[in-house]
Structure 1
Amino acid sequence: YWSIDTRDAMEKSISGDGYRPTLNSYMVADARAIAALTDDVNLRTKFARKADLLRTLVHERLWNTKDQFYDVVSPAADSGIRKQKKFVDPGTQMQLAGVREQIGYIPWTYGIATPDQDIAWKQLFDPQGFDGKYGPTTAEKRSPRFRFASSDQCTWNGPMWPFATTQTLTALAELLQTRGTSSIGSNEYYKLFARYVLAQHLTLPGGQSIPWIDEDRDADADDWIARRMLREKNKQVGRGNYYNHSGFADPLITGLLGIRPESGDTLHIQPLLPEGTWQYFALDGVPYHGHQLTLVYDRTGARYHKGRGFQVWIDGKIAAHRETLGSLTVQLPGTKRP
């Protein structure tokens, strides 16, 4: 694919199975990464151009102006996906699906979306959009095909998936920490993260709730769908145990608590935890560029006895401090390489 240089050839290459926000956003990020990492000037120029062209194609092909959301496009006529056993032909080729899906938020992860497209985030907590007690649904509730009947345990037609919520939290953190928007804010990020935490539990027969990561669950009921369906069929019920289909540490550390990894010796801390939500927290022993980071927030100073406010410690020494929870910029004391 990366040997392709013309717009028409590039478009044909990525359109075979239908355009998708996920795949095409990843490809933009891949091209940018290659351009940033290479020392070859010609290669850098080539892949920077590819990234820009792909970003343009994502806007042109995937943004549904009617629904104001990034959409999925149906497969081309000669796509191999149409030959798959479970494929149901909707009678369309290379057309917008006309239904909002949670993967439509992925372009924000890579800075692909523009400010006028931020209106899409209004759907996250819309009762007819993706709103759910345990996190967002993978397809909008207003769709007539929402949670259509299926014998498959792994459906993406509306259940909540911890993996998909991880992607959405990552995309939202990138938006809020880079340029911000009036469409959604840190209070909504915390609300989504709290539901993310609530979802990743299992209620045992005796009523005890334990930490748990499974496959798909009902977004509004205490029901891990795949687990229940397998139990009803007296089949293997341990498939989902510790499924590891979640990136829990990432949205906690980089989003909620605000450590934003970057090259160079300057570290920006931008917590998305709203002021006044927690009275204290501590994140200790985080390896970063050869150093050990510690974040400490103590509203009164009575919890950790290190003083009031928000502090950043590097290698056991305080490097930055402010009285309230918020952004901090820290200069690393010389990067140590192993």
Structure 2
Amino acid sequence: MKLSSTLAVVPLTARLAQAALDVDAVTEKYFGNDAPWYHDRIPLFESSDSEITEVYYYRWNVFRTHQRDVGTKYGYITTEFIDNVGWQTQPWASNNCAAIFHLSEGRWCRDPRFKQDHATFMYSADSNPRQYSESLADGVWRNYLVDGNPELAISLLDDMQRVYNEWVGDHYDETKGLFWIEPLADATEYTIASIDASGGYDGFGGGQAFRPTINTYQYANARAIAKIAALKGGLDDVVAEYNNRADAIKETLQRDLWNSTFEHFIDRFFVNNENVTYWDFIRGRELAGIVPWAHDLPDDDAKFGEAWKHVLSSDQLGGPFGLRTVEPSYEYYMRVWRYEGTQTECHWNGPSWPYQTTQVLTSLANVLDHYPNSSSLVNVGDYTRLLKQYANQHYNKHFDNILDIEENYDPDTGEPIVGLGRSHHYFHSGYVDLILSGFVGIRPRADDVLEVNPLADPSSISYFRAERILYHGQEIAVQWDATGDRYGEAGLRVEVGGQVVASSDKLERLTVDIARSTVSVSRPFDQAIQLQADITPPIVNTSVANYDINRLHDVFDGRIWFWTQDTIANGLDTPEGSTTEEWVSTEFGAAVTISRAEIAFFANEEKGLDVPASYKLQVLSGEWTDVADATYDEPLANGITNVKWTGVSTESVRILVTPKEGKKVRLVELKVFTE
């Protein structure tokens, strides 16, 4: 077994790890009755910082919330918004804007299905992979670095090239050798470029610019395509073409988008009008200028490292409650132009935005890990402090500090800004990946090496442990205990297959050879999905009088969550005060063989909601009959209730529920499967 020269060599005569976390207790603590969903799907983590730990498990709940089952064609996709929004790709409710975070978080899920299904869908004809700027190819490559299985990446290689060339066709300026984009299509309406291009009148649209963001994304995509082509083999021309493209973007971005006055990568205008001039720099620093490091674009040059002092400065991008998207010195800092009713809409002229906070922490992890000449102004203390600041944003000041991440925040107060119904538990950022690849320090690689370089600050973090992590198909764990008081042994430990394989008495880089293994994937398909309320088949119906069609649709929309906010209530309720048996049915449109169901009931004492006193399933065969030889779980609140029966071919199925006295039943989801 190969160890790095800096390691304390560990005898390989089976030092067994002794500090394994209790998966049953941990998942029950954080997920209650829904623990079975997480039990075999997530890595476990704990640290001496309770907030960092608690947010880690909350973010897995966010991940679970946003896995939308879209049925037999694609399986699962990952959503950004908790429910439908007007600008999603219909009927799937997809949006490519935050796909890089969905894939980066998903690469650590022990069940590969979600990332595989989502990536496949995003490159399909039913998706819109160019609705916003994107780094999808890089996201797929990052998944390969963790799971070590090239199958997904190779299967999407042709589509990656197609999408890349579409960007070249309509967003590339050959005279400058750079990509340009409207800030709105870069997910950042109301930025300096768009506001100034409007003359300070607005800034929602317009302001097309050569931005560090889209050029970095296309650099990363080109590099990923080249690597995947090399992995596939026999594609030397493709490898050369895309490496050359990446090299050209890197050179041009560093030369032309670096502003020596601002010591930052910043936009140049593509638009030319009465307010701004083509190729002029914008007039200030934006947090977006740090994005190049998130994809390892810049050279390791101390000149570029100067940008980090502006990120840390409390007068510039480093707000006391979150990183600012634009500095307070900008004329239109935090000005609001757009509202929904009286509620502020999204603006990126100063608010702290988890999307870019994730990018900055990813960038900082890269700089601290492998940019020795660029990292003189930052250290692991900065990483842990910014991670802690970001974790704290998840505690919502508008809702008694419950865990509920929203779209954006006031960097000077920590208050959520947008606060619309769509904003709750918003999946537009990453956190799990920041913990595992940054704080814990697992640095995914393409070769057969496990590399660990933790960025936890030893002056403030006395212990952490991350385990049940699948890396290249092997179970690994990383543990730090400054004193030995927590786990019985001081120092840093790396485990593979339950054995300690590398160690050190301090937090430092450790490497060890690791074999590869393929993780199997199970893909049952829900037969009862209704993608939107107005789509038939299936035809859904209920005995509940005067029902809301959208709440009935919830039962078959492939979304499961158990959050308590009324603005995101999910499912159909039985009538107030009724103990009459009620039913919900779906007609498939063709005969389907079904043999089991998964049912989600929501319960909340304050809202008068509880599981039913009784329930059953029936199929239509001339008349409604109970499913045969059925095994029914006791109805479970805020988790999954399972039913199995002898397989039957039918065109319709229904669930019947009888509420308890004085309680309503909320049916969140009914899913039925062939096997």
**Which bin holds the TM-score, normalised by the shorter protein?**
0.7 to 0.9
- 2:313 aligned residue (126, 133, 136): 126
Q: Which amino acid aligns with 1:291?
A: Q
Any conservation in 1 of the 2:263–2:307 contact (CA below 8 Å)? yes
Cα separation, partners in 2 of 1:8 and 1:298, compared to 1, 3 Å: closer
- Tell me how far apart the structure 2 counterparts of residues 69 and 100 of structure 1 sit (CA, whole Å): 7
Matched, 1:262 2:445: yes
Letter in 1 for 2:513: Q
Q: Which of 253, 259, 271 is 1:76 aligned to?
A: 271
Going from structure 1 to structure 2, the CA distance change for 1:298 and 1:43 (only over 3 Å counts) comes to: same
> What is the alpha-carbon distance in structure 2 between the residues aligned to residue 8 and residue 159 of structure 1?
31
Q: Which whole-Å CA distance do the structure 2 matches of 1:192 and 1:146 have between them?
A: 22
Q: CA deviation at 1:13?
A: 7.0
Amino acid in structure 2 at the alignment position of 1:66: T
Corresponding letter in the other structure for 2:226: A
The residue that corresponds to 2:516 in the other structure is 335
Change (3 A) 1:12 1:302: closer
Alpha-carbon distance in structure 1 between the residues aligned to 2:176 and 2:475: 45
SS in 1 for 2:269: coil
| CA–CA distance in structure 1, aligned partners of residues 306 and 404 of structure 2 | 33
User: AA paired with 2:503?
Assistant: H
* Cα shift at 1:198: 1.2
Alignment of 1:77-226 (within 5 A): 77=272, 90-114=275-299, 115=301, 116-152=303-339, 153-180=345-372, 181-204=375-398, 208-226=400-418
Partner of 1:35: 226
Change (3 A) 1:200 1:254: same
Deviates more, 1:12-21 or 1:176-185: 12-21
In 2: Cα distance, 1:268 partner to 1:288 partner: 11
Residue 76 of structure 1 and its aligned partner are, at CA, apart by 3.0
Q: Determine which of 508, 523, 529 is the counterpart of 1:326.
A: 508
Which structure ranks higher in relative contact order (CA pairs < 8 Å, sequence separation ≥ 6)?
2
Q: Distance in 2 between matches of 1:194 and 1:136?
A: 12
The 1:139–1:216 alpha-carbon spacing in structure 2 relative to 1, beyond 3 Å, is same
Letter in 2 for 1:258: G
Alignment check: 8 A CA contact 1:55 1:112 kept: yes
Is it true that 1:309 corresponds to 2:496 in the alignment? no
The AA in structure 1 aligned to 2:510 is L
Deviation at 1:312, TM superposition (A): 0.8
Q: Deviations over 1:194-244 (max 9, x none)?
A: 111111111356xx42212100110121311101xxxxxxxxx42111112
Change (3 A) 1:179 1:91: closer
Distance 2:335 2:174 in 1: 37
Instruction: Describe how 1:293-308 pairs up with structure 2 within 5 A.
Output: 293-305=476-488, 307-308=489-490
- Asked if 1 retains the 8 angstrom alpha-carbon contact of 2:322 and 2:409, the reply is no
User: TM (normalized to structure 1)?
Assistant: 0.87
In 2, are the aligned partners of 1:254 and 1:260 still within 8 Å (CA)? yes
Partners of 1:10 and 1:91 in 2: CA distance: 19
Once the two structures are TM-superposed, the CA of residue 128 in structure 1 deviates from its matched residue by 2.2
SS of the counterpart of 2:307? helix
Pairwise CA RMSD: 2.2
Q: Distance in 2 between matches of 1:171 and 1:71?
A: 16
Structure 2: distance between partners of 1:25 and 1:13: 10
User: Are the equivalent residues in 2 in contact too, given 1:162–1:200 (CA < 8 A)?
Assistant: no
Return closer, same or farther for 1:74/1:309 CA change in 2, 3 Å cut-off.
same
Distance 1:215 1:269 in 2: 32
Q: Note if contact 2:178-2:210 (Cα within 8 Å) is conserved in structure 1.
A: no
Give the Å deviation of 1:286.
0.9
Once the two structures are superposed, residues 249-275 of structure 1 have per-residue CA deviations (whole angstroms, 9 ceiling, x without a partner) of 111111111001111111111111122
Deviation at 1:71, TM superposition (A): 0.5
Change in 2 beyond 3 A, CA 1:266/1:301: same
- In 2, the alpha carbon distance for the partners of 1:222 and 1:137 equals 11
- Measure the CA separation in 2 of the matches of 1:196 and 1:29: 25
| Change in CA separation of 1:155 and 1:255 when aligned onto 2, cut-off 3 Å | same
**Cα distance, 1:75–1:201 mapped onto 2, change above 3 Å:** same
**Deviation for aligned residue 1:75:** 2.6
Shift of 1:8: 7.0
Q: Is the CA contact 2:358–2:434 (under 8 Å) kept in the aligned structure 1?
A: yes
How far 1:139 moved relative to its partner? 0.4
- Quickly say closer, same or farther: Cα 1:287–1:145, change in 2 above 3 A: same
Q: Distance in 2 between matches of 1:222 and 1:246?
A: 17
1:61-96: per-residue Cα shift (whole Å, max 9, x none)?
31112111111122334xxxx8xxxxxx63322321
**Inter-CA distance 139–69: structure 2 relative to 1 (3 Å threshold):** same
Q: Distance in 2 between matches of 1:323 and 1:12?
A: 49
User: In the TM superposition, what is the alpha-carbon distance from 1:145 to its structure 2 partner?
Assistant: 2.0
Equivalent pairs: percent with the same residue? 29
> What is the alpha-carbon distance in structure 1 between the residues aligned to residue 224 and residue 453 of structure 2?
23
Give yes or no for contact 1:63–1:71 (8 Å, CA) kept in 2.
yes
Question: What's the offset of the Cα at 1:12?
Answer: 6.3
Q: Which runs of 5 or more residues in structure 2 are unaligned?
A: 1-163, 182-207, 340-344, 520-675
Q: CA, structure 1 residues 156+106, in 2 after alignment: closer, same or farther (shift >3 Å)? A: same
Q: Residues 141 and 322 of structure 1: is their aligned pair in 2 closer, same or farther, counting only changes over 3 Å?
A: same
Q: Within 1, Cα distance between the matches of 2:414 and 2:369?
A: 32
Report the Cα distance in structure 1 between the residues aligned to 2:357 and 2:226, rounded to whole angstroms.
29
8 A contact 1:161–1:216 mirrored in 2 = yes
Q: For 1:276, what is the secondary structure of its paired residue? A: coil
Tell me which moved more, 51-60 or 98-107. Answer: 51-60
Bigger strand fraction: 2
Q: Is 2:481–2:492's contact at 8 Å kept on the other side of the alignment?
A: yes
1:238 maps to 2:238? no
Query: Does structure 1 residue 14 correspond to structure 2 residue 199?
Result: no
The structural deviation recorded for 1:99 is 0.9
Q: Secondary structure at the match of 2:389?
A: helix
- Structure 1 residues not aligned, in runs of 5+: 83-88, 228-236
What TM-score, normalized by structure 2, do the two folds share?
0.45
